[in-house]
Structure formats: structure tokens, C-alpha cells
Structure 1
């Protein structure tokens, strides 16, 4: 029997690789190995619906347990692949299990970036990456009146919104001058800060954490760089993630801020494909030529490309990136990548919390941030996928549906 394909990582990307292989007619064995004991599940809702109590482990499952058996996918949970011998075509888990393979796919994901300030080992400090993290945070939240969120990115703001909805006193501390600075324009950052303040959260910008103070081994406050002590019985840390590249490095694969892959999801060793949060992939908007995308969209689309490459069917990655963030009653949907934008056009009303910010580079539409404007988000996604644009000179006119303003890119100049 052929050794088949080993997929390392039972996350969104890993499951999608296995599913796509079967959809493409792959008949050889598939082994899917995940370090967590849980059935493979969706991660984005953890800081949203799951933390709020509106989702369960069952509703978050990517597939029903029966699916894997029915599709002859050998699902190995609660074990992490510790080493790989590419030449021998074998992998070994931390528990000593040996797995043979003919093809190898890496979907190793990412781990949270941890604080390294004094007091960061106190009880009451939570990170939010996996289901166990979310369960621990949800259990501690009811007994905490003062919550401090360190990090003003999407995870931090989503957690802050859930805590505030539970009646907690919430303080968000962000070290940079604005929220979500890597993903949105200043106008959207300012809107988010004001929106969270209107809902009762305290938002501190340009303030870093000097240390965490405690009482009887539990956190009691966050000391800021200017000496202020912010009371806290619970601290949520959301300061980014780091790609899991240890296995790739052990195999000698090229790693630069992630496992480097080409447009076909192949690594520097053509015997290995990779997909998801652990990878950096080619993108013309990135100064380095590669970019790492942390999104469900990328995990799904890149994994389909990886599966095709395993089968020798070269299919380049051309998908339009998209992201979303639910923060209480604010739904932010992002289409495209705004890297390198030189103009922003806002249509709609920021005060009414319904607007779209359209990003342009050299007169061409490259991305949009849509707040509570789902139809406009879809219009931009379709336009970008078709290689079309929305002229900046007409984009601000909200009296005309955005989809009616879409024109071929050559017609915008």
C-alpha cells in the first residue's frame, strides 16, 4: 500500500488539505495529526461567539467526527509531530508513534506571543489562541470586575467587547499610537477607539506595560510605562502570534517570518507543501515579496492549492484576501490588502457606525474596510476578484449603490 499523505496540524488549513485531496479524487491514505485533543474546530469564533457563550465545542467543529472515517482520513489527536525524516518518509510524534508518508503537508499554525515583563507569570493572565484558552478565560470572567486587555488588535478588541457586554470595567492598553495599526487606516483606527469608548471601555494608546503586579500570586494590576497602576483581576493578552516553524527548520526548509512557500504552496523542498498561519506566501504588495496572512480565507484557499500540488496539478494561488472582526454590535469586514495605499475614500457615516473605507494605490482600488455594510463588502470582494475597480472620484457618493460604481480597472483613469 502507498504510504499516502501526512498532514501535520489538524487546524482549519490541515483539515482543508485533507478534504481537498479527497474532493480532487485522491485515493491514497491520509493521516491528519493534531496536537490538541479536541475534534478539529474553527478558531475565529473563540474570541467572539464562543467566549460570549453563543457557540459550543460541537457547533465549532469543522466536520462531524464521522466525516473522517467515512472519507478514510486517519485522524490522530492529542499528539504533536516531533521529528520528520524526509528521505526515509517517516515522522515520529512526541509519544513515539511512527507514521510513514509519501507526501508531506505542513499546517502547523501559530502560537501566541507571550509577555516578558515582570509579573507575567501571575495567575489571572490569559491568552486566547485555542479552545482550552477560551474555556479558562470564560470560567474566570464572571468573578472579575476589572479587566485589562493588553493589545489593541482584533483579538484584544473582540475580547474587550465580550467583557464589556458582561458588565466588566474594561481597559484596553495599546503600545502604538492607534488600534489595529497594521491592518487599517488611521480613520478606521480612530473610529474603533471612539466606538469602544462610547460603549464604556477605557482605551489607552501609545502606552506600554512595564509590569504586572499581584497579590497572593494573582494579578491585581497592570503597571504602565508612566507609572500608572490600572486595577485588574483579569488580564487578557493579545499581542500577536508567532508561526510554528520548528519542524520546518529541523527539515532545513526556508523560513523567513514563516515557512516560505511559492504560489503553488510548495516549500523550498518540493516534496513538502505548507499552508495556513505558519506560512509566508508571495504577494506583490509586500516589500519583502512575501506576506503572512492569518485568516480563514487564506487557510482554506491556500490549502486547496497545496492539495492540488500534492497531486501534481499546479494551481496558482490567486484568491482575494478577506477578514472579519465582530466587536459587540460592530461587524468589520475587510476585503483585499491595504498595504501601500496612498489614498482613502470614506462613504457612509462614521457617527452612525455604518461606513466603508476604500483604499487606493495609484488610483486603483486595492482593499476596503466595511463596518456594518455587508453588501458593500461583497461588492468590493467581487470587484477585486474580477480585477475591476471603483473610481475614487465617485466612490464617496452613498446615494449610488457601490456595486453600480464598479468599472474595469482601465476605465478608472
Structure 2
């Protein structure tokens, strides 16, 4: 390709990296693009790994973010099974584990996050899993089925999604959580209690306020989990779902400013000119919440940051920053979350009239909505997202009345 456009190397083949590739071409970049991924397959959707793919209801090809021909058609060089070991900012070189050196004029870091591992005896036994990539999902799928016993350590969203999938496959599921309630770090008590009851009604056993002392095995295979009080839970597999950490070791080694992720601005620019960072590995501004910086692990965030970087590289105006939003599918439940409940001082719960298991929780700071959690209530999710972005006072009495559609409050906010 003959062009004056800079040669761009993207380090990472997840949602962020793949969307950066597409966004650059859509924005008109006609220079060389090289995407480096340490996985053996093309970029794919990761949310189904705990759901449809884990249950065997989806193929790898169906998970691809874009078909293989997209990369050929758009002249994208994709290096798979390529692990980066260093970044030389002076020479503008990425070094790979096999000794290759990949030159760049602009570098986009999109290395994502890594699942936190369990410390302690037995943590390295076969049958002890995390769930971060497609190999993890395939290995876990091989262990769960009718009558198998799965112990999940950590009652976050990944743990609950896997529990739902495992129950659908006929497995016995026990979830261990060291905090007094499930979802304690990511959901309010009302939502936490609802999901606890819903899973328990479907046979999931919860043990809260407990910690793991050791994992035990036979012939190298995990066979039980010992709790700190001495109780032993037999099992055929263990899933460790205790969160993730940013993959920022390369960035730190290269001298980029990091603090629980690479520090970036709204354009995805790092502290070193010519190097951008996007996705789970970044700590970014939160324009809807004052001067806060936050690390977001979500597909929408990866997509938004990819678009912003492409716009900045092409000298175009940055797209308006979207509000952070997330989702989780468990059984027949769809949870949608918009915003982050910074400075929330109370919650307003709205139960959908005449509809079972449908409600929303609006997190308020004074008379303004700062976050919304909606279960099988897409209308409230959409309306709540708009109310947060409007940053206008709402009529509390009307918001508290579930017979009044939340979307109607958009017209009266600020009156």
C-alpha cells in the first residue's frame, strides 16, 4: 500500500482491538494496519462465552466479530498466536516472543484484562478454571453436564451467568462468596437479593460470608473445596470468578502513566505521544460524572474508545462520549445497567405492573438520576439512560409511580 498515512499497530485482538481496526478504515485511514493477538483465532464476541457458547449452543464462526474476509478485503495484517514481550518507544518497535520486531508509527494498546487467579493450595489443579477466552469456555464446558458438581468462587456477574448455564446443562452448582451478599461490589441490595432468590429457586446453593482455605485433588484433578471453617465441598470442577486486572504490564514497562490501567484522555491518548490505549486496560475520564477517572470492563466502552481513537488519528471531531452501560443475561432474565451510582443517596424501585420479574431501580443523587438497573424492563433502561445524560432534575413522585412510563419524564425534566 502506497500512502503517506502512518503505519498503525494494534496490540490486542479483543473487542477493543477489532473495533479499532474497523473504525480506522471507516474513518478513512488508508495506511498499513497490523493487529497482533496472542489468541489463535480471529476476534470474537466474548459475552456468549458464559452463556450460549458455554452451553454448546453456538459455533466459533458464529462468534466472530467479523468474517475472515473482512480483514483481507480491508488489507489488515493479522498476526495470531503472537505474544508481545516488550515495547521500545524510542525505536517504535513491538517485540514478540518469537523474536520478531514489529515497527509502528502509531501504536494502539488494546490488551484487555486478565482474570484474577486464586491463591493458595490446589489453585493449579486440573479442573480449576477461569473464564476469559474461548479456550477457557471450552475447557469448562467439558467439565459440566448432567449431575456434575460445579463450585463457583465469587458471586459476580460472570459467576451468576455461568451458574445459570450450568443449571441449564443439569449440573449441581454451589456459589461461594466471601462478602455478606452476592454482587456486593456491583449492585445494590435490592438487586442482589432478587438475583439470590431467583437462582436459589432454580437450585443454586449460595454460601455467603465464607472464604476458601484450600482446593484438594486426586491424581492432579480437583475433587473438593475446603472452606476456612473446615467444611469440605466435593466437586468435579471449580470456576474462579473473582474479577479481573488490567493487562498493563507492557505499558508500565514502556513508561506509560498507569494507575489500575493505562491513564488516557477522552481521545484514548496515553502519556506518551503516538501511543493510544483502549478497552478494559484503560483508566479513562467519566465526563458524565465530573472529573472522575474509572476503569470500565464492557463491550460498549471498548467500541466507544475505538471510535474516539480513530477520529483523533484522522483529525476528526471526537464522537460524543456515551454513558457507560452494561448487561447480563441469566435464565430468562435480561439485566441492563446504565451509568455508575457515584454519589447516589437513595434508590427508587419501580415494579412493572402486571409483569412478573420485571422492575427497575433508579439511583438518585438528590433529584437527579445517576444510574439505573433494569430487569426485563428495557423501556426503563432506555429512559433512565437519557435522564442521566440530560442531568436534569426529575419529578420524584412521578418517577416513583410505576404506572407512569419513565420515558414521559424526559419531557418534564427541569420544568
What TM-score do you get using the length of structure 2 for normalisation?
A: 0.94
Q: Is the contact made by 2:369 and 2:391 (CA closer than 8 Å) also made in structure 1?
A: no
- Going from structure 1 to structure 2, the CA distance change for 1:286 and 1:106 (only over 3 Å counts) comes to same
Q: Is the contact made by 2:223 and 2:236 (CA closer than 8 Å) also made in structure 1?
A: yes
1:371 aligns with 2:375: yes
1:326 aligns with 2:329: yes
1:344 aligns with 2:347: yes
- Going from structure 1 to structure 2, the CA distance change for 1:286 and 1:375 (only over 3 Å counts) comes to closer
1:394 aligns with 2:393: no
| 2:414 equivalent in structure 1 | 410
Report the alpha carbon displacement of residue 389 of structure 1 after superposing the two structures with TM: 5.7
Where do 1:256-295 residues align within 5 Å? Answer: 256-283=259-286, 289-295=292-298
Between 309-318 and 217-226, the greater mean CA deviation after superposition:
309-318
Q: Is the contact made by 1:17 and 1:303 (CA closer than 8 Å) also made in structure 2?
A: yes
| 1:353 equivalent in structure 2 | 357
Report the alpha carbon displacement of residue 392 of structure 1 after superposing the two structures with TM: 2.7
Between 130-139 and 368-377, the greater mean CA deviation after superposition:
368-377
In the alignment, the residues of structure 2 paired with residue 301 and residue 138 of structure 1 have an alpha-carbon distance, to the nearest angstrom, of 32
Between 42-51 and 350-359, the greater mean CA deviation after superposition:
350-359
Q: Is the contact made by 1:389 and 1:406 (CA closer than 8 Å) also made in structure 2?
A: no
**Per-residue deviation, residues 336-378 of structure 1 (Å, max 9, x unmatched):** 1112211100000699311001111122001111111122212
- Going from structure 1 to structure 2, the CA distance change for 1:15 and 1:388 (only over 3 Å counts) comes to farther
Report SS of the residue matched to 1:357. Answer: strand
Q: Is the contact made by 1:220 and 1:233 (CA closer than 8 Å) also made in structure 2?
A: yes
- Going from structure 1 to structure 2, the CA distance change for 1:182 and 1:389 (only over 3 Å counts) comes to farther
Aligned length: 411
- Going from structure 1 to structure 2, the CA distance change for 1:234 and 1:389 (only over 3 Å counts) comes to farther
- Please, which of 248, 251, 254 is the counterpart of residue 248 of structure 1? 251
1:33 aligns with 2:2: no
1:19 aligns with 2:36: no
1:82 aligns with 2:85: yes
| 1:299 equivalent in structure 2 | 302
In the alignment, the residues of structure 2 paired with residue 211 and residue 410 of structure 1 have an alpha-carbon distance, to the nearest angstrom, of 56
Q: Give unmatched runs, 5+ long, in structure 1.
A: none
- Please, which of 62, 66, 78 is the counterpart of residue 63 of structure 1? 66
- Please report the RMSD computed on the Cα atoms of aligned residues, expressed in angstroms: 2.0
Where do 1:38-57 residues align within 5 Å? Answer: 38-57=41-60
Report the alpha carbon displacement of residue 317 of structure 1 after superposing the two structures with TM: 5.9
In the alignment, the residues of structure 1 paired with residue 341 and residue 24 of structure 2 have an alpha-carbon distance, to the nearest angstrom, of 32
Report SS of the residue matched to 2:214. Answer: strand
Q: Is the contact made by 1:389 and 1:408 (CA closer than 8 Å) also made in structure 2?
A: no
In the alignment, the residues of structure 2 paired with residue 148 and residue 294 of structure 1 have an alpha-carbon distance, to the nearest angstrom, of 24
What TM-score do you get using the length of structure 1 for normalisation?
A: 0.95
In the alignment, the residues of structure 2 paired with residue 356 and residue 381 of structure 1 have an alpha-carbon distance, to the nearest angstrom, of 12
Q: Is the contact made by 1:82 and 1:93 (CA closer than 8 Å) also made in structure 2?
A: yes
Between 162-171 and 103-112, the greater mean CA deviation after superposition:
162-171
Report SS of the residue matched to 1:140. Answer: coil
Report SS of the residue matched to 1:365. Answer: strand
